[in-house]
Structure 1
């Protein structure tokens, strides 16, 4: 693909007629190109119309057959040159361009902390393959939909730990989420208040226009030294919006097969009242997810509610190249005019 430069003679390069160059253009008036096949048809029609009205000159010829010579083809040369001239004019009228467009995106991101329960009850299989793996998959999908948002990650069981700081390094977040496993926190239990405290500590000095904490748990607060409702009030004081997601079903749910291959069922309960109150204090919403599709729909809803506005600026550098083909057309027109004044032209047809 050629780019026009300041060299005065660049237009003479045959590369302007290569398929790669022509296909690289954006044509302002591409409909003009449909007229190209009409050029040879017009000349064919002209010859058919003039076939019977052509002027003839009586000449005395010698006896014998007249042998064909290649020079007789030269009489078609002026018409060929003129057809090429017309084709180049049409190319110029179609206005070939090359557009270099740059897009600059700016966004005032928000801060989000995901708090994920990794206690033993998250191993229950009422959501395929289990509650924790379903939550991890949906969290990964949620990260893929964010732009310029800083996201942090907190895991908790009997204790709570910050697994990833607030960052826009989404690949690092994916790796950290994939690394989450059962028993990564030795002390079992559900320390919801401690998880909220770590999330608040991560965001309390943030200057983001919006701060959001998303809590995913399947139980009730059974560990930690901080009451979850007190933690919710602290979050409200630091302008952190709280979304709580209760995952799993209540009642008898499948756990895992025993040594005989028989599926074990355990009793599962969720302190929905506390989860709702946490979300209410934090001016967010409570959601209940008993299937992976429901969990995905919840994150889609949160993604819509907490969407970052992206401002997009486009810069277009447009360069016209019709001048190249007009210059070639003028050369061919001059060539055609010269040929019309040589022995090649049939003077009886002019």
Structure 2
């Protein structure tokens, strides 16, 4: 409707040029008909002059002087003209359209972060070490998601679910902060078991179309009872895509022992095994040798696996024809009232 107030139509602003120019006109062709309103009266006068009956009467020159009251008889015609003009404005359908902010909603995806917390993740070729670097990048990755359910699995010689799939990102930040090498006492790297635990968590929700697992490790599978390839096939059977990330440099790398001393040790990564896991599930393998490359990898995955964002855009259209229709009705009533008063002379020019 055109107003919140019942008397808004009384405002003089509806008559201003600025207001009329601000409208969007749905049937603008009616506005051109306004030009024809004065032409109607001219046409009526011409027809009247041509066909009226004449009675020749002689009057003295002194009696033919114009009088102010003779002008007043045109007032009813003025109100009838206004009635026609405002009817035409109403028919032109004045409107104002505003585009509302779009409503966004997402069809979220499930993401499981599977992090290696074995002893080798203390190696400092990434700063301050591999695990802390991975935690920081994972934290930034979570911040960039929108309504995706994210969970965390940690593993060393064993694997367990640290955080279930959730959209409570503040909870996830807290879990990431608490991740420590001492969480799992059993040494080794149980990649197959880690994939199995993550799959078990993700298979529960069959409604989500997109499920991904990000597996980050720096070693080769040497613990656990489940073979990594078998675990990968199981994940693929549940529609889970695995992105594998091999962290760290090959060869001699700096390692800080429990006494705080830096020593260099040999480091090896089963790159071919990691590639095979990714290939089985339709994912990709990445290699991170420093902090920058690890951040870049997570940024790439973030772009590859985005939630589908849908927007509901709509426009709000307000009609104002009722205002001008109201004024047209008022002018018509006034014209009817004046039509039978002294303002209308029975004699015509």
TM-score (norm 2): 0.62
> Which residue is equivalent to 2:67?
none
Q: Which has the larger radius of gyration?
A: 2
- The verdict on how the C-alpha distance between 1:229 and 1:103 changes in structure 2, with shifts beyond 3 A counting, is same
Find the residue that maps to 1:220 and give its secondary structure.
coil
In structure 1, list runs of 5 or more residues that go unmatched: 13-26, 29-96, 322-350
Seen in structure 2, the aligned counterparts of structure 1 residues 139 and 10 have a Cα distance that, compared at 3 Å, is farther
- Over 3 Å counting, the alpha-carbon distance change for 1:320 and 1:122 in structure 2 is farther
Aligned to 2:168: 169
Shift in Å, 1:210: 1.1
Secondary structure of the residue aligned to 1:200 is helix
Matched residue of 1:183: which SS? helix
Contact 1:258 1:264 (C-alpha < 8 Å) held by counterparts: no
Correspondence for 2:220: 220
- Unaligned runs of 5+ residues in structure 2 are 12-21, 24-95, 321-349
1:320–1:172: structure 2 CA closer, same or farther, 3 Å change rule? farther
Separation of aligned partners in 2, 1:167 and 1:100: 34
Partners of 1:212 and 1:310 lie apart in 2 by: 18
> Which residue does 2:235 correspond to in 1?
235
1:214-256 CA distances to partner (integer Å, 9 max, x unpaired)?
1000001121111111101111211211110000011111112
C-alpha distance in structure 1 between counterparts of 2:188 and 2:257, whole Å: 22
Correspondence list, 1:11-90, <5 A: none
TM superposition shift of 1:273: 1.4
Aligned residue in 2 for 1:134: 133
Task: Return the alpha-carbon distance in structure 1 between the equivalents of residues 136 and 239 of structure 2.
Answer: 28
Q: Shift in Å at residue 168 of structure 1?
A: 1.3
Instruction: Report the equivalent of 1:248.
Output: 248
Q: Contact 2:110–2:149 (CA<8 Å) still a contact in 1? A: yes
Residues 143-158 of structure 1 correspond to what in structure 2 (within 5 A)?
Answer: 143-158=142-157
After superposition, the C-alpha distances for 1:132-187 in whole angstroms (9 at most, x for unaligned) are 11111111111112122111110011111101111111111111112111211121
- Aligned equivalents of 1:244, 1:184: Cα separation in 2: 22
Q: Structure 1 residues 320 and 219 mapped into 2: Cα distance closer, same or farther (>3 Å)?
A: same
Give the RMSD, CA atoms, in angstroms.
3.0
- SS at 1:201's partner residue? helix
Over 3 Å counting, the alpha-carbon distance change for 1:142 and 1:229 in structure 2 is same
1:241 and 1:284 in contact (8 A); partners too: yes
Asked if the contact 1:235/1:282 (under 8 Å) is kept, the reply is: yes
Q: Deviations over 1:276-318 (max 9, x none)?
A: 1111111111111001111111111111211112011234557
When the two structures are aligned, how many residues end up with a matched partner? Answer: 242
C-alpha distance in 2, partners of 1:318/1:280? 53
1:318 and 1:129 map into 2 onto residues whose CA distance is 58
Indicate the larger mover: 156-165 or 307-316. 307-316
Equivalent runs, 1:155-304 vs 2, <5 Å: 155-207=154-206, 208-256=208-256, 263-304=262-303
What CA deviation, in whole Å up to 9, does each residue of 1:55-88 have, x standing for no partner? xxxxxxxxxxxxxxxxxxxxxxxxxxxxxxxxxx
Determine if contact 2:97/2:315 at 8 Å carries over to the other structure.
no
Displacement of 1:274 after TM fit?
1.0
Offset of 1:101 from its aligned partner? 3.6
Which 4+ residue blocks in structure 1 deviate beyond 3 angstroms? Answer: 7-12, 97-103, 314-321
Q: 1:11 to 1:251 in 2, by over 3 A?
A: farther
Q: Quick one: structure 1 residues 11 and 157, their matched pair in 2 at CA, closer, same or farther if it must change by over 3 Å?
A: farther
> Offset at 1:100?
8.5
Q: What's the TM-score, normalizing by structure 1?
A: 0.62
